[in-house]
Amino acid sequence: MTTTAETATAELLDWYEQMAVIRRTEQAAQDLFLAGLVKGTTHLAAGHEAVAVGASTALRDDDYVFATYRGHHHAIARGATPEECLAELMSKATGLCGGKGGSMHLTKADRNMLGSYAIVGAHLPMAAGAAWSAVLRGSGQVAVAFFGDGATNIGTFHETLNLAAVWKLPVLFVCENNLYMEYTPIGSVTAVPNPAADRAAAYRLPAELLDGNDVLAVHAAVATAAQRARAGDGPTIIEARTYRQFGHSRTDPGKYRPEAEVAQWLARDPLTLARAALADRGVPESDVDAADQRARALVEAAVAAAKAAPEPDLATALTDVWADGSAGWRS
Amino acid sequence: MAELTTYRESVAEGIAREMRRDPAVVCLGEDIGAAGGVFKTTVGLYEEFGPVRIRDTPISEQAIVGAAMGAAMTGLRPVAEIMFSDFLACCWDHVANEIPKVRYMTGGQVTVPLVIRTANGGGLGFGAQHSQAVENWAFAVPGLKVVAPATPSDVVGLMAAAIRSDDPVVFFEHKGLFASKGPPAPPEHLVPLGQAACLRTGTDVTLVALAATVPTALAAAERLTAEGVSAEVLDLRCLVPLDMRAVLESVARTSRLVVVEENPYQGGWGGTVASIVADEGFELLDAPIRRVAAACVPLPFADRLEDAVLPTVDTVAGAVRALAAY
Ligand SMILES: Cc1ncc(C[n+]2csc(CCOP(=O)(O)OP(=O)(O)O)c2C)c(N)n1
Ligand SMILES: [Mg+2]
């Protein structure tokens, strides 16, 4: 993907900016939630940015991405704008799903980001099916399913790994291991220490265990796995260790997490790590600050536009059940 | 007189016709390939279309239906088999939460043109976990089309419509009808979804039936002719779209309605049919609406007991007789 040190540096700065956009969007989502402008719930991905950006930048534009309810970062990394995302959270007509999906179902199908699913594990077989379809159509696309550590204990994970292994599908299983399900540490309910990677052997699949806060490490692992998949060598499991900076959802203060653990992970913030990598490559701090400023301006404008956007037309409550746009079920 | 064909053979015939005309149609399921399916409903497909388009799967209902969904969202028209309809419970998240909701919840960004075929219903002594008629499970979910043919040619014609549909379809094949025979489907046969068939005209009472209750209703109607009762028999063919116009038009002629359904009375589809007729056709009625449905128990094993809880010609004829005398 990266050929020279120069392009690598320019790309890294771009990745940093994408991560900054996601971070600002998540902070805005939290602020809007607390202000009562986002109803229902949100599951913020602040802290997980390097997984989304590292992976997305290692994929082809036409590759398929399936995410979970904690999926704002994947929508943005695949090309959704902060404005479309925030408008959806705020129940606006201009939202990604016209206000019919909400925070948990962000989808950008015209970029092959084929949805965010809120039943744990449900989208894993969908990614396998998209990969199967790519094989049958000879398109060379790969499909990627992002999921949490908690999803490794549900049946679909195991059914899908087996099927994908037997069919040698071009699919990547990327586990964002943030050490917790909702409030329970994953280690206390899982038979193996690394919930995704340690299961790979049972399906004779290769696994990569890596630092999910290091955007370069994620990018490299996903690039390699995607190459394997495209070459017909089948799926890879990638377990990216990361940490969420907010609670599980809504206003969860995350009190069940030890303070020292939180502090240790905040010190390893993916943006901080990327800044350090940029400094190592001699990028002036002012360039990074400028990227931050652009991200901030973009998200501020997105918040303003989303606030000003119209509410959905009432008629849309009764559209798009069926492919012809209608919702009729009887004569 | 043309040769008759079976309902069972018509399943494979219906799928094969669509696979010949559209390379995007693929099949997946347990034992559907070289084995030809546990009910022999996919015999010949593997030989004609090969292992790439006719895909044997592990016993993984969630992976089967979930993969079908992912494939349908990305350009294929998968036909997934769930061996027995009772097993839909093993992939119910995908059937009830994922497939029917994804188009709506994404604001119409995706379509899911897939078919889930499954062997439904009782009468063969398979016991409680392999016999229940569960078409009402699917009927309870907005976003699914629900098809349940009663005759060999309808199997072919409705299969064509189901596979060509850009919406998800649950296609219930009735186990008790697999061996039944009828005229084969003509070439290019297509039965649009949501059009009931009037199989017998009558003046005194309308019998609304589906799948295996169609022959039951027809036999009851035949028996009642001798008693001077003229019964009209409608085969709904589909629960979604539900052809209520046909039902209301028939009731306008007969003024009496008996709904014959194999799923349990409790939560069965006949409740919806009856409520619509009560709402919109009350003035058409000269008598209460009657529902003949399965008893609200898991299906028993012994033939004698199974017969006692499923609609039979006797119970249907009895209900019609009582209603005609009302
Ligand atoms: C099948 C199912 N069971 C339970 C839930 C409720 N639930 C929502 S998120 C969650 C925790 C998931 O943890 P993990 O997979 O680690 O993802 P994370 O939220 O940490 O990103 C649970 C239990 C659900 N949505 N789906
Ligand atoms: Mg987790």
Q: For residues B86-110, give the mean pLDDT.
A: 98
pLDDT digits (tens, 9 = 90+) for B132-170: 999 999 999 999 999 999 999 999 999 999 999 999 999
Residue A6: per-residue pLDDT:
58
Residue B264 CA to chain centroid, in angstroms? 15
| Confidence band for A2, pLDDT divided at 50, 70 and 90 | very low
Arithmetic mean of pLDDT over chain B: 97
Task: Tell me how crowded residue B229 is: count the other CB atoms within 10 A of its CB.
Answer: 21
Which of B27, B87, B99, B102 to mutate to test binding with chain A, by most A CBs within 10 Å of its CB?
B102
Residue A7: per-residue pLDDT:
59
Tokens 């199908």 belong to: A109
Residues B255/B284, Cβ–Cβ less than 8 Å: yes
d(CA A151, CA A146): 10
DSSP codes joined into one string, B236-256 = --EEESB-HHHHHHHHHHHS-
CATH of B197-324, one of 1.20.120.1200, 3.30.420.40, 2.30.110.10, 3.40.50.920: 3.40.50.920
Please state which architecture CATH assigns to domain A14-273+293-318. Answer: 3-Layer(aba) Sandwich (3.40)
Numbered ranges of CATH 3.40.50.920 in chain B: 197-324
Q: For residues A139-163, give the mean pLDDT.
A: 98
Identity of the amino acid at A148: G
DSSP codes joined into one string, A72-135 = HHHHHHTT--HHHHHHHHTT-TTSTTTTSS-GGG--BGGGTEEEEE-STTTHHHHHHHHHHHHH
Nearest to B176 by CA among B121, B239, B244: B121
Chain B residue at shortest CA distance from A327: B143
Q: What is the DSSP letter of A25?
A: H
How would you label B266-276 residue by residue, b for 16+ Cβ within 10 Å and e otherwise? eebbbbbbbee
Q: Does B295 touch chain A (CB under 8 A)?
A: no
Nearest to B12 by CA among B208, B112, B155: B155
Nearest CB to A129; choose among B71, B109, B240:
B71
Does position B2 have pLDDT exceeding 90, yes or no? no
Examine the residue annotation and report whether B94 is marked as an active-site residue of this protein: no
Residues B193/B154, Cβ–Cβ less than 8 Å: no
The answer, as to whether pTM is greater than 0.95, is yes
Does position A24 have pLDDT exceeding 70, yes or no? yes
pLDDT digits (tens, 9 = 90+) for B69-79: 999 999 999 99
Does position B220 have pLDDT exceeding 90, yes or no? yes
Nearest to B35 by CA among B16, B19, B51, B14: B51
> What is the pairing mode between strands B231-235 and B197-200?
antiparallel
Which CA distances in Å does A210 have to A68, A174, A215, A216, B42?
Answer: 20, 11, 10, 11, 45
* Distance from residue B155's CA to the centre of ligand 2 (Å): 46
Numbered ranges of CATH 3.40.50.970 in chain B: 5-182
Please state which architecture CATH assigns to domain B5-182. Answer: 3-Layer(aba) Sandwich (3.40)
Does position A278 have pLDDT exceeding 90, yes or no? yes
Helix (H, G, I), strand (E, B) or coil at B225: helix
Q: Does B233 touch chain A (CB under 8 A)?
A: no
Domain residue spans of chain A? 14-273+293-318
**Ligand 1 pocket by Cβ (under 6 Å):** A 43, 70, 118-120, 148-151, 178, 180-182, 248
Does position A1 have pLDDT exceeding 60, yes or no? no
pLDDT digits (tens, 9 = 90+) for B183-211: 999 999 999 999 999 999 999 999 999 99
Q: Which helix (H) or strand (E) element contains residue B46?
A: helix B45-53
